[in-house]
Amino acid sequence: MVCLVDTVYSRKKKYKQLIRLYSKKYSFSFFDPHVTLFGGVDIEPGSTFSFFEECVKGQDRIRLDTLEVISGDPPGSRFIFSSS
């Protein structure tokens, strides 16, 4: 499955702190750090799991380094994390 994998617990904790900070600042609900694969697409996500599992079979974990955080227009994106 394709997902943001945190190799260090403290990194996920940092993301949560950033999300909490900005959710208070801009008055939106707190959420756990995640990657949205199908935003606004009307499908059952479970039907795609086997496809993504096959795509990443034998792959190493994904590591992303955050470069910047920018605000996007709702409903698609509240915050966009630019990464390398």
Q: What is the pLDDT of residues 18-66, one digit of tens each?
A: 888 888 888 888 888 777 666 667 778 788 888 888 887 887 776 767 7
* Distance between CA atoms of residues 61 and 77, nearest Å: 25
CA distance 8 to 25: 27
What does pTM read for this prediction?
Answer: 0.40
Residues 56 and 72: their CA atoms lie apart, in Å, by 29
pLDDT at 4: 46
Could you read off the pLDDT of 58-67 as tens digits, one per residue?
877 767 677 7
User: Using one digit for the tens of pLDDT, what is the confidence trace for 66-78?
Assistant: 777 767 666 555 6
What distance in Å separates the CA atoms of residue 15 and residue 40, rounded to the nearest whole number?
Answer: 23
